[in-house]
Amino acid sequence: MGRRAPGRAVAKNHLPGWQSRSGAAIRIRCTGSAYAENRPQGYSAQCVRHSSLRHRSETGILARWSNIENRTEVPLTVEQAESAEWNLPSATGYSLRFLSGRWGGEDQLQTRAITPGNTALESRRGFTGHEFAPWFAVAQNDRVTEQNGEVWFGALAWGGSWRITIEQDVMQQVKIVGGYNPFDFSYKLNPAQALTTPKFYGGFASHGFGEMSRLESTFQLHRILPHAPAPRLRPVLYNSWEATGFNFDETTQEKLADKAASIGVERFVMDDGWFSTRTKDSSGLGDWYPHPQRFPRAKATHRPRTCTRNGLRPLGRA
């Protein structure tokens, strides 16, 4: 089990690959009652947090989240709420992987050693984006390959502002905490109301990054995608961007839609250039209404008519 950090009780390890710590706390902060809960199990008090865990046998991936209840007779405001905390066995040499990027350079893999202190991955923009993905992987050391070595990994299922913090203390204990980003976070709970945090998924692979990828893919297919656990085949999709770039109008898109439908395409995508004054990379981005000259028959509040042509499923995208 490794050494015990001062003030922390270590419980029997019942999470595959993870270190289970009964003293590991998910912190919430509620105002209006001057109450802060810092225990692993909720109890009868003013602002109560319950931890929940779900195990998926086909992949070993765990889902953890918290439910925060207001048991007072007055409104409370939640100012900080984490979904869960993951703990790794005490060791040195861990290597962190995460994804960062920008437009035109998305999902760039970053690798760094985990040392005492913390690394915060986050979005404060109200949504996820290219800057950082709410995902992490921690390798046993920098010698882990696609086929060999232990990997701990996880993802936060949340599309708003989020934060994942990876921290190593002086006893080489590594903990990973994720949930709502506390920056400008505020959630009002009226009496008897509850807040359920996003699920924080965690998994373990003993045969390298390749096994990690396969476990993640299996989990997404059977638990995340629409129609899971028996997802249907995805529709055959055609994206017109490579054929036209910004140089198109309704007539050219209708012709492409006809050709696409004739060869069995089920979903037609106009990737860029269909909205606002979007005629180049530096104009119109964010104005989600049809280009008035390119699609004169389209209503301002609807997607261009060609998206539903020939029975093709509609999909607008920027």
- pLDDT tens readout for residues 126-153: 988 888 999 999 999 999 999 999 999 9
Q: Is 172 left (phi over 0), alpha (psi -120 to 50) or beta?
A: left
pLDDT of 292 > 80? The answer is yes
The type of residue at 18 is W
Residue 218 scores a pLDDT above 90: yes
pLDDT of residue 213: 97
Average pLDDT, the chain: 81
Chain CA centroid to CA 19, Å: 23
Count of positions (residues) in the chain: 318
* 217-230 mean pLDDT: 87
Written out in words, the top-level CATH class of the domain with range 28-224 is: mainly beta
pLDDT at 47: 66
Sign of CA dihedral 96, 97, 99, 100: positive
Of the spans 20-24, 54-58, 160-164, which averages the highest pLDDT? 160-164
Kindly list the distances between the CA atom of residue 148 and the CA atoms of 14, 140, 227, in Å, as whole numbers in the listed order. 23, 10, 33
pLDDT at 33: 36
For residues 158 and 196, is the Cβ–Cβ distance under 8 A?
no
Quote the Cα angle for 79-82-83, to 5°: 140
Measured between its terminal Cα atoms, the distance across the chain in Å is 50
Please say if the pLDDT value at position 118 is more than 80: yes
**Of 31 and 184, which is predicted with more confidence?**
184
144's CB contacts (< 8 A; 6+ apart) are: 95, 150, 151, 208, 209
Cβ pair 291, 273 in contact under 8 A: yes
Look at 33 and 31; give whichever has higher pLDDT: 31
Give pLDDT, residue 155. Answer: 97
CA pseudo-torsion sign 220, 224, 227, 228: positive
DSSP 65-126: EEEEEE-SSS-EEEEEEEEEEEEEPS-S--EEEEEEEETTEEEEEEEEE--SEEEEEEE-SS
Domain boundaries, the chain: 28-224, 237-311
pLDDT score at 76: 87
